[in-house]
Structure 1
């Protein structure tokens, strides 16, 4: 078809089209800026709300964990007064956190009346670095069982707060290649066993930890951490030596990590080749129990012993403001192994 538009007409058309395009572009920019502003505003609001919620949740977990540990270490003869005093502590914590939330125009509640407790036992040997006790049983046997048939519950564990202070001078001189004479902790379900050895490194003289994974041969044992010191704290469940992360130390390995139906035993080997003191709390639900023939029932100055403990507590919590509503049941079991 022939071009019937003259030059002036084409120019006007181009001008109009350009003006229309400009309007469209401005509109798009305005829409984009509005969307960005709205998104940032929501992000800022949600961020503040999330921080407040996480801060409140952390305060509940940390505070409740401290209360549980404080009351457990008070060494009650019976479980009832233990749980009553934990409940009283939780109520006081809830009151403090409610007041703190109110100052931020928020409401918070830990439903202490709905709290549920998981039974446990605290096993202790009261030695210290300055006054060490060998890690033997009540009959001075070096090889003995601490607890049997410990079962996990869902995502939770069955042993927590397993911390030992050891003196270098009490440890066997050994290596990861030849650890058999060293003190070690065994976690076994009868078909597989995880080993953690603590010894004086025969080459460096440092306090060392070696691990043999479950299902592996002795040749798979490897040293995972060491510290040059006259004494050191081994946190078996927290995975540290001398307060420093020991990534290869994951208590129980796959044996403890999978024991939701098949329980596991905690066993000591060569307990006469380490001295100091230790604590651990075990979950005594179902068949889980402390070995009474090896551990005294009730406090003892010289022998390992066990007392009632709260292994874990679950508390429903709520936190809400004009912009955020949050509800969860938190589980508190201080000193459990991180998965």
Structure 2
């Protein structure tokens, strides 16, 4: 009869069973660890997404408040200058900022925010407002001079714009523009040599803007079609002709010069219209020179403190407001 009784334990088989159990346990541990890692990673990504959305919303809100304040102060400064006042008194601006602060406070209070905007007289920079609107003949000055200083002894310009009758512009070519076309000349210590901006009509009656250096033949920068009886607006500091971009029309050396310069007009009888600008004298507080009567005390810029607070956001900044400054 066969022997079916169990014999003593086989040590080799036990060792193999132990190793199998260890492999199973190790596999379970690794699986649990991977699941935990995936859960933690998903939680981190979700939390970061929420935080990012909160930051973007806060940034957008702060940007909106800042834009409202800057736009309001800029309009106030320019409206003050257009009054062509007799003195550099700046209470119009400081009082206006206080009134704007009250209006913004009421508006944002309805949205659960607290706004405060303030400045003082020491933070309002003296400037000069220039306009040729009173000139008697074309863009020639009060004495009918066709070459004269629009302004001299300045180191900043903003809102420099020409509104010119397209019909009255000289018709010429780049090679003849220096002697025939109306042009703006920038010169002085801030520049190594003069820069010129010419405005004229070409053979197809387009209004053309071209740049020159040192009185040499200019290079065309931009042009637009202009109908009869229309005015063409060249915003030099914004580098635009009407709605068309005109890059390079403002001299690169004059974005933030460390020295003084002058703006002059040449062939002023080759254009009919007006020129306006706000400038900052150099040295500060001095009176810039001009060969025409259209100058009046003005505000060049204003620096304001802005604070905005909600339940979830605290925002504070100091901003200098100089509307229409090149690349501001």
- Please report the TM-score for the alignment, with normalisation by the length of structure 1: 0.84
Where does the alignment leave 5 or more consecutive residues of structure 1 unmatched? 152-157, 297-304
Query: Which stretch of structure 1 is more off in the superposition, 168-177 or 62-71?
Result: 168-177
What is the aligned partner in structure 1 of residue 7 from structure 2?
Answer: none
Superposed, 1:223-302 pairs within 5 Å as 223-229=220-226, 230=228, 231-249=231-249, 251-254=250-253, 256-260=254-258, 262-286=259-283, 289-292=287-290, 294-296=291-293
Superposed, 1:77-156 pairs within 5 Å as 77-80=86-89, 83-113=90-120, 116-126=123-133, 133-151=137-155
What CA distance in whole angstroms lies between the structure 1 residues aligned with 2:139 and 2:265?
A: 8
Matched position secondary structure for 1:15: helix
Aligned-pair CA distance for 1:182:
0.9
2:176 counterpart of 1:178: yes
The answer to whether the 8 Å contact 1:198/1:209 transfers is yes
- Please report the TM-score for the alignment, with normalisation by the length of structure 2: 0.87
Bigger CA radius of gyration: 2
Matched position secondary structure for 2:96: helix
Matched position secondary structure for 1:24: helix
Length, aligned pairs only: 310
Q: 1:319 to 1:226 in 2, by over 3 A?
A: same
Q: 1:47 to 1:258 in 2, by over 3 A?
A: closer
What is the aligned partner in structure 2 of residue 301 from structure 1?
Answer: none
What CA distance in whole angstroms lies between the structure 1 residues aligned with 2:241 and 2:25?
A: 77
Where does the alignment leave 5 or more consecutive residues of structure 2 unmatched? 1-11
